[in-house]
């Protein structure tokens, strides 16, 4: 087989493997594993090379990035966006025992039952950047932003921007008063008709304001 033919075959396979299809109101592109482990709320997008295991819930209109990895009991809210290579792990090797080894080569894998398993909750309208890692047992509040490359090891307050290894709060996106108003508004639970009525709020700059309703 000549080099040109091999290249042509690869291009054809790549084209068909990455063709998008809509299934149960979820846009699927490329090849992902473990989709049966996810309960999608609809209007979701799953690109190529995502991997799911455990018990995962993904809220309405939340879209994922290429090569996202989710393992364990995970609950994700509505209108979230994930960058590429985001990983979410709810489990961890045992660290308070003689060994952290859980492979079948030792005691036929019996030590697996010693693994830690802590749920992860991600709120609504959360933006998670490229190559972020989220560790089990954390809750990420509504409207939070997780910077690229961040390792999240503790809870993230609503509308906070966090970055670093481990994650640290860089700043709050808005004043506490504005955050309280947004949390009370809960726009992510509204119908399309209700959202149309408050559409101007989405185009308003909330920097240095005291209320989202001020003129």
Residues with catalytic roles: 93
In Å, how far from its chain's centre is CA 26?
16
Between CA 169 and CA 160 the distance in angstroms is 7
- Count of beta carbons in the 10 Å neighbourhood of residue 89: 17
Nearest to 76 by CA among 8, 33, 128, 31: 128
Best CA proximity match to 122, nearest among 138, 148, 140? 140
Q: Which residues contact 81 (CB under 8 A, 6 or more apart)?
A: 62, 63, 126, 127, 128
CB atoms within 10 A of CB 41: 16
């Amino acid at each position: 087989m000549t080099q040109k033919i091999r290249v042509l075959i690869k291009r054809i396979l790549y084209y068909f493997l990455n063709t998008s299809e809509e299934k149960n109101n979820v846009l699927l592109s490329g090849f992902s594993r473990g989709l049966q482990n996810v309960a999608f709320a609809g209007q979701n997008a799953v690109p190529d090379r995502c991997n799911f295991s455990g018990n995962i819930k993904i809220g309405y209109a939340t879209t994922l990035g290429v090569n996202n990895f989710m393992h364990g009991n995970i609950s994700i809210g509505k209108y979230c966006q994930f960058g590429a290579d985001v990983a979410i792990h709810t489990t961890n090797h045992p660290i308070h025992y003689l060994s952290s080894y859980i492979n079948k080569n030792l005691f036929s894998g019996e030590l697996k039952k010693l693994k830690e398993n802590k749920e992860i909750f991600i709120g609504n309208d959360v933006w998670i950047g490229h190559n972020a890692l989220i560790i089990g047992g954390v809750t990420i509040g509504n409207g939070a932003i997780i910077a690229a490359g961040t390792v999240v090891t503790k809870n993230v307050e609503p509308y906070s921007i966090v970055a670093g290894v481990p994650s640290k709060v860089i700043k709050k996106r808005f004043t506490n008063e504005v955050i309280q108003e947004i949390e009370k508004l809960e726009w992510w639970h509204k119908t399309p008709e209700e959202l149309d009525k408050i559409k101007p709020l989405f185009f308003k700059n909330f920097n240095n304001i005291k209320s989202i309703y001020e003129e």
